[in-house]
Amino acid sequence: MTPSVGRIVHYTSYGTPGGEFGKECRAAVVTEVEDEHTVGLCVLNPTGLFLNRGVVFDDDDVPTERKGGTWHWPE
């Protein structure tokens, strides 16, 4: 699949350095496409929106192994 503006993807959050909060999968809307692996996102969090540019694709099929700060297609 190819990302395009307006598509729904998932964003993996970083979590906190101290481990109080772990990585979480969040819904996100693609706001810009740099190339097929790098996009801009509007991440939908329970407490508000987070805008981020230059988010890279994580193709790891194991959800627990995904890197924070990346996006992936919904399962």
pLDDT tens digits, 7-66? 999 999 998 888 788 889 999 999 999 999 999 999 999 999 999 999 999 988 887 889
Indicate whether 43 belongs to any domain: yes
In the chain, the number of structural domains is 1
Per DSSP, helices labelled H in the chain are none
Q: Let me know if residue 1 belongs to a domain.
A: no
Q: The whole model's pTM is what?
A: 0.89
The two structure tokens encoding residue 36: 């097929």
Residue written as tokens 């990346």?
A: 70
Buried b (16+ CB within 10 A) or exposed e, 14-36: eeeeeeeeebeebebbbeeeeee
* Residue 2 located in a structural domain: no
Instruction: Report yes or no on 20 lying in a domain.
Output: yes
